[in-house]
Amino acid sequence: MLAVATAEQLPVQQAREGNPEAWDTLFRRYQLPLYVYVFELAHNEQTSLDIVQETFIAAIRHIGGLRDDEKFGGWLFGIAHQKVIQLWRKHGGKEILFDEIPEPPDEFENSPDDLLIRREQEIEFMNLLNQLPSPQRSVLLLHFVENFSLEEIAHITETQIGTVKSRLHYAKRALRKLLEEKK
Amino acid sequence: MKTPRDILFARHENVEPKLDAIRLSVARELNNKETREQSFQEFFASLFLGCSKNFWDELIFPCRRIWTGLAAIWILIFVVNLSQRDPAEMMARKSPPPSPEMIMAFRQQEKLLAELIGSNEPRIAEPPKTFSPRPSSERRFETLMT
């Protein structure tokens, strides 16, 4: 499992001052999670690599706009998310903008590891993930890949916390249902 | 058993060398002067906006009623001050200075008036009496003689 570094360990301030080593550390830390997130939404290797590169360049250019260093990860994923949306818009995709789902129940599991998948279920898991509507898939990926909080996911995807909660709940429920059926 | 994160990362492990190459290419961009300048500009813009927002949030917004009251009082003082000014003074301030033609016409009228009155000859000023200092005892003698 990839060790998730805490925000305090990340040299964001040094990166802000233009330290190349600090940027290298930050990019090394986020390159694979960002790629995974973008690829699972874009489904194209070259496009995903391009988006990761553009995200890194945009991060260097706009680091001055980041106020809270502890939110660097969410901020970086927010840039990547916007670039994915631009890509969808370019290809005429509208689903990210329009999805109406009901409010989730009060009980809510907020751990990315509450779903454990057996080796023989991995393919089914990935198939189902790809069948989910893009908004739900996006929220679920952010939850799985970086364990972002509901507030952070809402900030990255520029949606309401209630919407994020609903999307996450129904996506997880769909996954769990499938995994139970396949047992 | 694996977590979804493990499965997702394992699926894309083979792309790591390409990501490393991207990271190095972006590092070259970091040394680009234009990129640095843009970053600094954004930093200062963000700082300015942040300060403005803090100023508003901490100083103006919590006491907005007091600030509004103060502004209303200032406006009232200004209006009262404006309404109590002397209108003649205002007119005098507003009227432009007389032109040379007006001054000439005024002098001609003055001259005409003087001619009508009859004292068109210019007054000859009496020459000042010469004063020669003398002792006071001599002056008293003169008085007694007369």
Helix, strand, coil percentages (3-state) for chain A, rounded to 5, are 70, 0, 25
Closest by CA position to A24, among listed A68, A70, A59, A64: A59
Average the pLDDT over A13-42 and give the result: 91
SS3 B65: helix
C-alpha pair distances (Å), A181 with each of A169, A175, A176, A177:
18, 10, 9, 6
* Within-domain flag for B91: no
- Chain B's closest residue to A142, CA to CA, is B5
| Structural domain contains residue B105 | no
Which domain covers residue B39, as residue numbers? 4-86
DSSP annotation of B99 reads: P
Residue A5 — very low, low, confident or very high, per pLDDT cuts 50/70/90?
very low
Predicted TM-score of the model (pTM): 0.61
pLDDT band, residue A124 (cuts 50/70/90): confident
> Which positions of chain B have pLDDT values less than 50?
none
Position A47 pLDDT exceeds 90: yes
Residue A121 pLDDT > 70: yes
Torsion of CA B43, B46, B48, B52, to 10 degrees: -160
Is residue B110 situated within a structural domain? no
In a domain, B109, yes or no: no
User: What are the residue boundaries of the structural domains of chain A, listed by start?
Assistant: 7-90, 112-181
A68: nearest Cα among A10, A122, A19: A10
Which chain B residue is nearest to residue A51, measuring alpha carbons?
A: B22
Nearest to A32 among B19, B26, B35 (CB): B19
A 157-176 residues inside an 8 A Cβ radius of B: none
* ipTM confidence: 0.80
In a domain, B60, yes or no: yes
User: Stretch A143-160: mean pLDDT, rounded?
Assistant: 92
* Cβ-based contacts of A144 with chain B (< 8 Å): 3-5, 8
User: Which fold does the domain A7-90 belong to in CATH?
Assistant: Rna Polymerase Sigma Factor; Chain: A (1.10.1740)
CATH 1.10.10.10 corresponds to the domain A112-181: yes
Q: How far is A129 from chain B (nearest CA, A)?
A: 10
pLDDT at site A45: 92
Question: Are B26 and A16 in contact (CB < 8 Å)?
Answer: no
Structure-token pair, residue A101: 């789902």
Angle (nearest 5°) at CA B11 between A3 and A56: 65
pLDDT band at A55, cuts 50/70/90?
A: very high
Closest chain A C-alpha to B91 CA, distance in angstroms: 56
Helix axes A150-157, A134-146, angle to 10 degrees: 130
Which chain B residues touch A if contact means CB-CB below 8 Å? 1-9, 11-13, 15-16, 18-20, 22-23, 25-27, 29-31, 35-36, 38-46, 50
Does A2 contact chain B (CB < 8 Å)?
A: yes
Is residue B68 assigned to a domain? Answer: yes
Asked if the structure places residue B29 within a domain, the reply is yes
